Amino acid sequence: MTIYLVDKADAPEMNRVYARYFTAPPNPNRATVVVKELLGENCLIEIVVHAIKA
């Protein structure tokens, strides 16, 4: 999972939401990146997830 944020001040709230949905190990591997802007108009966060059915 890669999470792109336009404002690093949004990271604490993003972490709270993440913790609400992923409550027990093993949690998805994650990287959070702060970027200048995203392609979507007024877009403040983008999340890219790759899932594999085991």
12-49 pLDDT per residue, tens: 999 999 999 999 998 889 999 999 999 988 999 999 99
pLDDT value at position 20? Answer: 96
Residue 53 has pLDDT above 90, yes or no: no
What tokens were used for 26?
């093993």
Beta-bridged to residue 42, according to DSSP, are none
Q: Is 0.75 surpassed by the pTM of this model?
A: yes
- Domains of the chain by residue range: 2-48
- DSSP 8-state assignment for residue 8: G
Residue 51 has pLDDT above 90, yes or no: no
Instruction: Match 């792109």 to its residue by tokens.
Output: 4
What tokens were used for 4?
């792109």
pLDDT value at position 26? Answer: 87
Residue of 26, 38, 31, 37 lying closest to 14 (CA atoms) = 31
Dist CA 26 CA 33 (whole Å): 22
pLDDT value at position 52? Answer: 85
Strand, helix or coil for residue 10 = helix
